[in-house]
């Protein structure tokens, strides 16, 4: 694992956030150009004419796209925690509702002089947690019900400290930018690709054999160009995932140990989370914010993974923090229910304190 200073890591996160925000208009322009090319293809223009017309259409489309981008920026900036909460099913909780969670988080903040973030819970049996928010007033730490019920106080404190470290290191801001601001490009590209498929089927039926071969060939070429632009935009959005260095999880684990002075608790928490972190229905871009998001099988899945494996993280804590690895964790077996008492025995009179139960006359 490459050595990097905390200040350098925080500075890098700030630079990446700015670059991602600057790249958003470029990706948006690419999507708009693809839409203009599709319109020309369905209008029956030739290849050269269609591309020229698409370029001429840009001054008309760009202001609308810029206005939409600014509106999305405003919504995402002020409502990013609500958007992420809606995508994950998180709800805000108070001290009265979750005194154990609230007290553990508050004690950590007091011990390091950190502002108290909001607290949230996702009602799922999965074991996971994340932090969100662009500004100190928005910062929120969220845990799942399964995590709160499974971990003991020391382990739960370590997870909360892990999320607080993401806040301190600026990881949360970068993750929100990648998830909410730029991640919308993935959604737009997917919707445009699906919409093209529907329009293509409908237009083919309506025109029948009346299209001239030349126009049909030009339309196919223009559609291919538009689809290529969409694919490039989608790939660039995927490349954003590579800006989310997996080093941030190692540093957050180390920060949790620094806050709690308990590497064994962090290791034990990770072992309990291992293989039990999947929350159904959460978008892939949002899962990058979780404390764990296990990559699927295959080389490319591991290459694009936003998290190191639990084994790698535990190994780092053992090697550099002196923790002890208890190994793979298995939930305790549920106690077998007591056998039912036979009816005859249940109906038999019970003996009194001085021997057999008295008989009737």
Give catalytic residues, as residue numbers: 163
* End-to-end Cα, the chain, rounded Å: 88
Angle between helices 153-169 and 263-273 (to 10 degrees): 90
Spell out the residues 6+ positions from residue 97 whose beta carbon is closer than 8 angstroms to its own: none
CB neighbour list of residue 181: distance below 8 Å, 6 or more residues apart = 20, 21, 24, 72, 73, 76
Question: What residues contact 242, with CB distance under 8 A and at least 6 apart?
Answer: 304
What's the burial of 101, exposed, middle or buried (CB within 10 Å: 0-12/13-18/19+)? buried
CB 306 within 8 A of CB 288: yes
Task: Pick the closest to residue 329 from 276, 290, 278 (CA basis).
Answer: 276
CB-based contact 326:316 (threshold 8 Å): no
Residue 135 CB neighbour total at 10 angstroms: 11
- Count how many Cα atoms sit within 13 Å of the Cα of residue 53 in the half-sphere of its side chain: 17
268-272-273 Cα angle (round to 5): 115
**Beta strands 118-122 and 140-144: pairing type?**
parallel
Question: Cα dihedral angle (9, 179, 177, 295), rounded to 10 degrees?
Answer: 10
- Read out DSSP for 24-66? HHHHHHHHHHHHHHHHHHHTT--HHHHHHHHHHHHHHHHHHHH
Cβ atoms of 20 and 243 closer than 8 Å: yes
| In the block, residue with structure tokens 């007091």 | 110
């Amino acid at each position: 694992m490459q050595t990097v200073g905390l200040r350098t890591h925080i500075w890098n996160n700030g630079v990446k956030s700015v670059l991602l925000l600057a790249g958003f208009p470029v990706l948006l322009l690419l999507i708009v150009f693809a839409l203009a090319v599709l319109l020309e293809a369905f209008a029956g223009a030739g290849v050269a004419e269609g591309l020229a017309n698409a370029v001429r259409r840009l001054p008309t489309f760009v202001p609308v796209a810029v206005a939409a981008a600014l509106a999305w920026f405003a919504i995402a900036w002020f409502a990013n925690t609500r958007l992420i909460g809606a995508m994950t099913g998180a709800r805000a909780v108070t001290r009265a509702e979750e005194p154990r969670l609230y007290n553990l988080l508050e004690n950590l903040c007091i011990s390091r002089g950190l502002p108290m973030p909001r607290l949230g819970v996702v009602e799922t049996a999965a074991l996971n947690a994340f932090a969100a928010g662009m500004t100190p007033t928005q910062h929120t730490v969220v845990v799942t019900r399964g995590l709160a019920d499974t971990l003991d106080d020391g382990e739960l404190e370590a997870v909360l400290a892990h999320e607080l470290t993401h806040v301190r290191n600026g990881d949360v801001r970068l993750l929100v930018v990648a998830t909410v601001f730029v991640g919308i490009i993935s959604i737009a590209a997917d919707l445009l690709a699906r919409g093209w498929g529907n329009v293509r089927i409908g237009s083919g039926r309506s025109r029948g054999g009346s299209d001239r071969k030349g126009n049909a060939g030009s339309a196919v070429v223009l559609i291919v160009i538009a689809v290529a632009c969409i694919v490039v935009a989608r790939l660039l959005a995927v490349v954003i995932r590579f800006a989310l260095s997996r080093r941030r999880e190692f540093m957050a684990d180390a920060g949790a140990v620094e806050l709690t002075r308990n590497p064994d608790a962090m290791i034990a928490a990770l072992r309990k989370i291992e293989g039990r972190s999947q929350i159904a229905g959460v978008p892939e871009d949002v899962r990058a914010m979780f404390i764990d998001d296990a990559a699927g099988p295959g080389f490319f899945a591991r290459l694009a993974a936003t998290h190191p494996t639990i084994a790698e993280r535990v190994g780092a804590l053992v090697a550099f923090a002196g923790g002890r690895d208890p190994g793979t964790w298995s939930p305790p077996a549920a106690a077998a229910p007591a056998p039912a008492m036979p009816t005859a025995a249940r109906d038999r009179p019970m003996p009194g304190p001085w021997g057999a139960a008295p008989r009737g006359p």
